[in-house]
Structure 1
Amino acid sequence: MATTAYRELSHGRDAVCDRFYAEFDFRPSMNRFPGIKEPAPSATWSLGRLDDDPGYVRLDRLVEVVQGGLAALAGDGPILALDWQHPCYEVWPNRIGPDTLEPPGRPGWPLSPYPDGDYFIYLADDFRFGTFGHPWELSLCVFGADLLGLIEADLHDLLGEPIRQRRG
């Protein structure tokens, strides 16, 4: 069994991205929001509260909460980490060390859930849960009942009320 924490999606990247475009009606735009058809259930938060975050305490907590929820749901399996127009990855969260306390040989996550200048997307390999970070709206959409159930309360505490919600 491979012990790598993540690997680049080179051969399957186009198929995964094409499926994401189709299933989420992805519409890259600097001024048309939201960038996807947000699935039900989902909640989308503004990341504006993180602008005034000396020491990046809230940002670090956001990353910890989202990555912890993804890891809990992935179990021993992989999730997908998509960086629009850049390399994308298959990630095994259970093989990743904490960002600040990595033991030797255990890398951190290849992407942050925070959309730092580009769309950052995390997806279950079957697309049933994940996150969509929009860099120009500066928002984070979290979707899937299981993922919302794990992290919604923490995100509410960190970021306030969602700017959009879809229940169902």
Structure 2
Amino acid sequence: MDNWVPLSNELYRLVWDKFYEHFNFKPSVHSNDWPSFSLPSPYITYKLTSYTNDDIDDLERNCVACLKLVTEPDEYLYALDWQHESFQYNPHLGPPSTISFYPDGDYYLFINKDFKWGYLGHPWEQTISIFGEVLIQQFEINKPKLFGEVVRSSD
């Protein structure tokens, strides 16, 4: 089994349409328009700190570990790269290689298929938002070094 399965054109449109609607997604490079999405409670948003290659490796390891803990071994989630090819991704089948967890120029989103929890990277705000209690709890236990101050939360 492949851990990265490209979304068909039809599924790509359906998933992105649902994301735009469900999260009131309004992508923007302008800070007065941020945040670019509305998040369901509970959620938390971390500012990303400056980094080294080791910090990026730590981010990738911790993200995969957290996603493994909230998914079944045969479960896929959506891995979305704004305006680029997007995928169904299974974290149990290997490390990420197609879409990074570090938003380095695009919105990178990892969301379960029911949209109950997710990991959203904002490239210009340089933040990571996590929503859904089960995923937030895992990131509290396995917090990546790059996660700096909390800039928003549902508390």
TM-score (norm: length of structure 2): 0.90
Shift in Å, 1:150: 0.6
Cα RMSD after superposing both structures: 1.6
Shift in Å, 1:158: 4.4
Shift in Å, 1:110: 2.0
**Deviations along 1:90-129, whole A, 9 cap, x unmatched?**
0122111x4xxxxxxxxx4421111110000000011111
Contact 1:44-1:142 at 8 Å conserved across structures: yes
Q: Percent identity?
A: 33
Equivalent pairs counted in the alignment come to 151
Residue aligned with 1:77, SS: coil
**Deviations along 1:20-66, whole A, 9 cap, x unmatched?**
0000000100012111002211110111x1x2x34x22222122112
Please name the residue that 1:117 is paired with: 105
Structure in which a larger fraction of residues adopt strand: 2
Shift in Å, 1:5: 1.4
Shift in Å, 1:153: 4.3
Inter-partner Cα distance in structure 2 for 1:156 and 1:72: 15
The unaligned stretches of length 5 or more in structure 2 are: none
Contact 1:156-1:162 at 8 Å conserved across structures: no
Indicate which of 68, 74, 77 corresponds to 2:75.
Answer: 77
Please name the residue that 1:128 is paired with: 116
Please name the residue that 1:155 is paired with: 143
Inter-partner Cα distance in structure 1 for 2:150 and 2:121: 14
Please name the residue that 1:104 is paired with: none
Please name the residue that 2:153 is paired with: 165
Contact 1:70-1:130 at 8 Å conserved across structures: no
Runs of at least 4 residues off by over 3 Å: none
- 71-80 vs 21-30, which moves further: 71-80
Inter-partner Cα distance in structure 2 for 1:152 and 1:63: 15
The unaligned stretches of length 5 or more in structure 1 are: 99-107
AA of the residue aligned to 1:150: Q
Please name the residue that 2:7 is paired with: 9
